[in-house]
Amino acid sequence: MSQVFSEETHRNMLARIPHCTGREVSDWLRTVDEGPALFRFEEKVSWLRHEHNLAYGHAKAIIHEYDLRRAARRYF
């Protein structure tokens, strides 16, 4: 079962990603965009975890941010 993080927890997780992974969030978002065309959230998280050896929380935060930004582009 997926954990649901608050907005504050999500932002804190994103802020830690560069330190923990050595890559900026924008790099990870580009990696997801250029990755395989997966549709389900958990499939994307699983791919990121296994392909790039990320922790579950980091992968989930990256995918959540990717989906938020993609949705925002549709409205503007």
- The phi-psi region of residue 53 (left if phi > 0; otherwise alpha if psi is between -120 and 50; otherwise beta) is left
- pLDDT classification of 1: cutoffs 50, 70, 90: very low
Statement: residue 2 has pLDDT above 60: no
> In this structure, is the dihedral angle defined by the CA atoms of residues 47, 39, 56 and 13, taken in order, positive or negative?
positive
Contacts of 18 (CB under 8 A, 6+ apart): 24, 25
State the average pLDDT for the chain. Answer: 91
Q: What is the predicted pLDDT for the residue at 73?
A: 80
Residue ranges per structural domain of the chain: 1-73
36 or 75, higher pLDDT: 36
Tens digit of each residue's pLDDT (9 = 90 or more) over 25-51: 999 999 999 999 999 999 999 999 999
| Token pair in block for residue 64 | 């959540």
